[in-house]
Structures are given as structure tokens and as C-alpha cells.
Amino acid sequence: MPKLLSKLDPGVAIAFAIGLLAVWPLFAYPSLPLNTDAEIHILRAAEVKESILSGVLYPRWANDFYYGNGYPIFSFYAPLTYHLAAYWSIITGTDVVAGSKAVLVGSGLLGTLGMYLFVRNRWWRLAGIVAAAAWAFSPYLIFLEPHARGEIAETLSLGIAPFVLLWFDIVLRRGGWRPAVMAAISLAAVILAHPLTALPVYGVVLVLIGWEVSLASVDAQRGRQPFPWERIPQVAVAIVLGLGLAAVYWLPAGLERSAVRLDFYGLGHYDFRRHFLPVNELAALPIWLDEGAANPDFHFSLGPVQLLLAIAGMLAVFKPRLRRLDSMLMVFLSSFFLYLMTNASQGLWEVLPPMRFFQFPMRFLGPTALVLSPLAGTALAWVGNINGNPRAPRAAALMVAALFLSALPLTYPPPWSDFGAINRGRVVQAEISGKWLGTTCCNDFLPRGVESIPVPSAEIVAAYTAGDRIIPRAEKELLPAGASVIMLHSTSQSDALGITTPSAFKLKLHRFYFPGWTAMLDGKPVEISVTQPDGRIGVDIPAGKHRVDVELQATPVRGAAAWISITCALAALGLLLLPHSPAKTSAAAHGPTTELAQVAIALVAVVCIKLLSDQLGWFRHHSSGRTVATAQHSLLGSIQKEIEFLGYDMDKLTLRKSTDFPVTLYWRALRPPSVNYQVYVHLRDKDGKVWAQSDKANPADTPTKRWALDRYIRDVHTLALPAVLPAGEYRVYVGLWNDATSERFLAYDEDGVLMGENIALPDIVTVR
């Protein structure tokens, strides 16, 4: 036992403690919040759980979405997140909310540990501790992804990403078939979690391989020998196995993409040109979050301390005594990802059409943190990286403390209420209320044959609401007189119906058609006809008594992809069973365990500060009711006596032509809104002429029917002033309207007196 303990690295415990600090806000409140993307991820996980329990272990069809017609989202959206949440729920006996939270917590801990091990192995242990803190306390990872956006799938993919670098680095530097298998598994996992994150991670791996093979072998300072070419087959096998293990997902998703709608990418709100980040925002300090905000203001920042440490690590390459060529690799990669997030790269985005699938340049904050965190760790080189140097542990402790304290305001996400019960009826009711259709924004992944989405069937809605296990799939309005249909059996991807009819007719099912759906009439295959314009499954039924079986089966592409993944899994298992000689870890990577004592003391200190802040309410705002602590100006009014206007921000009252004029509005729902309102902001002259405006389909990009009653909404607008705008005085007018009817809704002041069709802000805007 003492011998075993002597081999354990206490740095792993330190890294785990750092990760636990980063994910602790998830334990601050039970359940998970509504009104972020976490909500749709949870409902997808519930669909996967239902399929697994019905015997379909790898579903490609979401059975209950689109008013029960279903659609093939799991053929195109990476499935790993939902399977992990579903199996956690099944094994522990909890719901998929707990399973989804487990995925978020596990992602944070996994990513922190992976970053520590990667940097420890490649540089040294203290550098790994600092890099782990830089990663865990990165604003994108500690708050933006898990809390502000609720992107569970992307968070999981980023949590796996450091392990992809770790295992490929081990294969490159030490060789071995078992590390090659682990590299393959980690690569497959990052693809199956979130392919858009996997692409830059895969790019980093390829660059790392090319760097090691070509340039790093000339690093004379480390006494490197030429790259051992016998490891190339192991690297190649790791890549091929990784892609093969994930082929069950990406191969059908790529080859069958023409069967679904993907035409919204790059349009409207999802046009990448609207989402480039200002350079100064990337280095901004975190904003204190407001507990009363449904969508608190925040910066898309890399973290100021992370950037300072990374710059220090970058500068080390200019000092011969400290220079490391692998640091230069991280400098190159981080610079490239920074470039992709600013409008300087717009030309590249436009030249490469696939870039539009990323939608938001800020998605590269995650890959940037992946290569920036090791650079932050190498900043320790300036104080000496020799074991026993007393300055290095002190510097590492200060760096870890500074990284956490800079992120402290982000550890207080706005409180959330309980997510509520998860059942199939909830999905359909949410769709009927107008929250979404199919848990996606723009009918993406809807089968191409669906030209018009049918209205919900009253019978199906009633069955879902009642909690029936078997949903009536036949459209009974089309049955001939005297005909009857009963449901014999139903799963997420199959139906069996008993039909008795005096005359022939076309059976129409409440299921959208997608390649792979097959029909059997009395045990014999029959042709499916796709109904128009709703794209549902139709089957010709002759007179008499019959049994109809409809099932989603594998297409040739899906079957081939499954066999590729199974073959690769068997090959990986065979490689794991080969004789293995354990690699030795160099003493330089570890060093004396006493050097971590000061880092541990620093962690204890920041935990004490966190606990004190929890009790005293530091580092956050506490708005409630009609009071918005962060609003520059308070102004009360209401529209339709459903939506209350609380205040606004206008930084500039003196403007010039051809400039952008930002206006921020603050709203809250007085009672559940009856419609999804659209919002407009007008800049008008004294005669009422509109010279600039901003229109949104949803205030704050959130449908008003989804607004919580106990939170305010922060709604940001930017008015572009035209070059022909005359000099003079103007005012800003705010209102809500209905896009479908063009109706503008009435506004009232705080005393209930009618103001007209809009609210006029009192400030005079002067244009020079």
C-alpha cells in the first residue's frame, strides 16, 4: 500500500479540486434551468431514454416531436450526450434532468483532469496545475456554455477534448497500441458529443502530429532525437479507429443530409457576419451577474488572467534559455482561433461555405481555451522550472488564485426553479404553446418531403396528455365508413395496426416519412407513398381484415456505418489485449510532492473567499420586481397589460451619421403572454418620420411565451444611422407588434393611462 501511494500523483487530486470548484455552481440549486438550450437537450435525452426502454438501443428517430409525427434528429445531431444522460437516469433511477446535470458536472471534471495530465506529461506538473485552472475557470467553460447557453452537448465535447490531446501526445512521444486505442476512443467520443467542436479539435491533433514529425525533432534544448517513424502506424491506426468508431453517426449524417432540411444555416440570426467578437471583449473582465435577470449580460471573453499568463508563455519563446518549440505550436494555434472570432476573418468564412455551419464565431472560444491553457501553464518558465525551485510553487499558487478570483462573479448564475416532470405530454404541449417545434429553431432536420407542417391531431394530443403508452397513429378522418383501426403495438421506431375495412383506402399515419421507413401488409412488403404536402407515411389498404407493420429500418448507408463501427470496436478490443509494457513517467514531470502544498493552501484560501461571498452576496446584483439594478434609466409602462417595460440603457445621446446606435431595453412579463410578441425600436424626428430602426422576431431572442414571470429580460438593439440622416434632434420609440397581422399593440403608463402604440423614451438624441 505505501508503495502504491508513492506512485500516485497528488497533482491529480489538486486538478480534481480545481474542477470541483468550477462545476460547484451546478450544485447551488437543484434540477436545471428552463429557457436555455439545456431544456431542449433534456427533452432529447428523454426521447432517447424512452427508445432504450422500448428496446431500441441506438434510436435515429425522435418519436414524440412535431406533434407526435417524429423526425430523424438523432440521425444528424450527435447522440452521445443524450445516451449518457439516459443511461445515468436508468441506472440511478433518477430523471434525465439529473442525468443531464451529471453530464455537465462530469464534463467539467473530465476536462480539467485531462488538461492537467496533458500539460504535466508534456511540460511539468506545476505547469499542468496552472493550465488546469486556466481551463476550468475559463469564462466560456465555467459559465457561458453550461449556464448562459445551456449547451450540454458542446460542454461534453470540450470536456473530452483535452484527453484527445493527451492520448495522441502519448502515442507520439512514447508509442504503444493501448494508448493508440485510447486516442481512438477519445477522438470518437468528441465526434459523437458535438461534431462542430470535434472539427477544430481534430485540426489541432493533425497539426500536433505534423509538428512532432517535422519540426519538434530539431528541438536541441530538450536533446530530442529524430522522430521515431515506427510510431506513425500507431498514430494512423488511432485516427482510423477513432473515425471508424464514430462512423455509425457521422457517415449517415453526411451521406443522407440531402434527405432533411438544412437550409436555414447562415441565414438571419444565424448569419455568422452578425456575431464576430470585438477584440476588446475577448480580454474583458467578467460582468457581475444579476440574479433577477433571465438572460444576464456577460462578455464572450477568454479571461483577462488567462490571456496575461498565455502572453507570458508566448513571450518565453523569445528567450533562448526558456524557448520551447512546442510552445510556439500553441502560439500559432491560439492566434489562428482568435483570428476566426474577429471580423478580420470574414473573407475566410465567406470563401469556405462549410464555415456557415458553425453559425457563431464565438464557438471558437472553446478550442482557443484548449490551446491557450497550456500556454498559461508555461508562463511558469519565467520563475524557473527546475524541481525544488521555491519560487515556482509560490508563483503557481498565485496564478491559480488569480485565475479563480477573476472568474468568481461567474460562479453565481441566476437562480432557477425546478425543471419539472419529464413526460411525453409535456413535449407536445410545449410545441402547441409555440415554444418550439422539434426542439430545433428553424425546422432543421425535418424530412424534405414535409412542405407544410400539419396541425396537431386532437386525438394524439389527448393521448399524449393522458399519458397513454400507445399513441393512435392512423388518421381516422380518412377511414371509409364502417372501417376500424386499432393499435396492436408501438415503439419509438415501429407500429403495428389491425385494420378492418369494407372498401380499399389509403391509410395515412401520423408519422413523417424518412428513408428507412418500411411497411408490411399481412407479412408482405408493400410500397409507402408520401402524402403531400405534409410528407407523412401513406399505405394502400385493400378491403378486408389486415395487419399493417411499419418500422424504421437501416438503409444501406446506416447498415454499412454500423458494421464499420462494430469492426473498429472489435479491432480496438484486440489491440487492448496485446501484451503491454507500461511506460515510465519521468521524474521531471512529477517532481517533489511538497511543491503542491502551497497550491493546496491557495485553493483553501479561495474556497474561504467563495464561502464568505456566498453569505454576504458579493460579486452579483440582486434585482427584483420592477427594480433593475443594472439599468441606466428606469421607465415604467406596459403593453397589452401583459408585458411591462422597466427601463433602458442609452450610452450616447450625441451621435454622428453612419454610426451604430446601441439601445438596451428591459422587459418582464406581468402574466403569461397570450402571443409571441415582436419588438421594434425606432429613431424618429419631430415629424414622426422613422430614420433608423431595429426589429426582432423575439425580444432578447426569446419568445415571449417562454418568459418566466419572476425575471426581467434584457433586450439589446443596434440602430444603424444612415449617412443621409439630417442633423437635429430625435427621439427613440419602443413597441411590440404581431408580425402575422402587422398589428401594433397598445402601450400604457404606470398609472394605466393609454400612451398609444408605443413608448417614447424621454431622452433627446442629438445628431451632428
Tens digits of residue pLDDT in 178-204: 999 999 999 999 999 999 999 999 999
Mean pLDDT over each residue of the chain, to the nearest integer: 88
Residue 680 CB-half CA count within 13 A: 18
Q: The CATH number of the domain where 471 resides is what?
A: 2.60.40
**Domain total in the chain:** 3
In a domain, 490, yes or no: yes
State how far the alpha carbon of 708 is from the alpha carbons of 41, 641, 702, in Å: 19, 16, 11
In a domain, 320, yes or no: yes
What percentage of the chain carries pLDDT values higher than 90? Answer: 52
Query: How many other CB atoms sit within 10 Å of the CB of residue 728?
Result: 12
pLDDT of residue 228 exceeding 80: no
Is there a single domain that holds both residue 497 and residue 410? no
SS3 assignment for 591-625: CCHHHHHHHHHHHHHHHHHHHHHHHHCCCEECCEC
Is there a single domain that holds both residue 142 and residue 117? yes
pLDDT of 108: 96
Which of 528, 553, 578 finishes a domain?
553
Which of 513, 528, 553 finishes a domain?
553
d(CA 545, CA 500): 4
pLDDT of 587: 41
pLDDT of 33: 87
pTM over 0.85: yes
Is there a single domain that holds both residue 155 and residue 199? yes
- Among 30-44, 429-443, 496-510, the range scoring the smallest mean pLDDT is 429-443
In a domain, 655, yes or no: yes
Q: The CATH number of the domain where 687 resides is what?
A: 2.70.50.60
> Residue 465 burial (CB < 10 Å; 0-12/13-18/19+)?
middle
Is there a single domain that holds both residue 604 and residue 638? no
Give the residue numbers spanning the domain of 470: 449-553
Q: Is the peptide bond before 59 cis (omega within 30 degrees of 0)?
A: no
Is there a single domain that holds both residue 133 and residue 280? yes
pLDDT of 324: 67
Confidence of residue 530 (pLDDT cuts 50, 70, 90): very high
Is there a single domain that holds both residue 505 and residue 602? no
pLDDT of residue 4 exceeding 50: no
pLDDT in tens, 304-318: 999 999 998 888 777
Is there a single domain that holds both residue 664 and residue 708? yes
pLDDT of 220: 42
Query: How many other CB atoms sit within 10 Å of the CB of residue 121?
Result: 20
Which amino acid, one-letter code, is at 713? I
Mean of the pLDDT values across residues 365-387?
85
Is there a single domain that holds both residue 180 and residue 303? yes
pLDDT of residue 47 exceeding 70: yes
pLDDT of residue 594 exceeding 70: no
Is there a single domain that holds both residue 518 and residue 658? no
pLDDT of residue 491 exceeding 70: yes
C-alpha cell at 368: 482557443
- Among 285-299, 313-327, 433-447, 475-489, the range scoring the smallest mean pLDDT is 313-327
Buried b (16+ CB within 10 A) or exposed e, 260-294: bbbeebbeeebebeebbbeeeebebebbbbbbbbb
> Residue 316 burial (CB < 10 Å; 0-12/13-18/19+)?
buried
In a domain, 177, yes or no: yes
C-alpha cell at 43: 427533452
In a domain, 700, yes or no: yes
pLDDT of 621: 92
The more confidently predicted of residues 129 and 701 is 129
Which of 568, 585, 616 finishes a domain?
616
Determine contact, residues 313/376, Cβ cutoff 8 Å: yes
Is there a single domain that holds both residue 411 and residue 537? no
CA proximity to 68, closest of 423, 428, 496, 422: 428
In a domain, 303, yes or no: yes
State how far the alpha carbon of 130 is from the alpha carbons of 14, 318, 370, 394, in Å: 10, 21, 13, 12
Determine contact, residues 277/117, Cβ cutoff 8 Å: no
In a domain, 708, yes or no: yes
pLDDT of 597: 80
In a domain, 548, yes or no: yes
Is there a single domain that holds both residue 654 and residue 762? yes
Determine contact, residues 715/670, Cβ cutoff 8 Å: no
Is there a single domain that holds both residue 292 and residue 380? yes
Determine contact, residues 246/192, Cβ cutoff 8 Å: yes
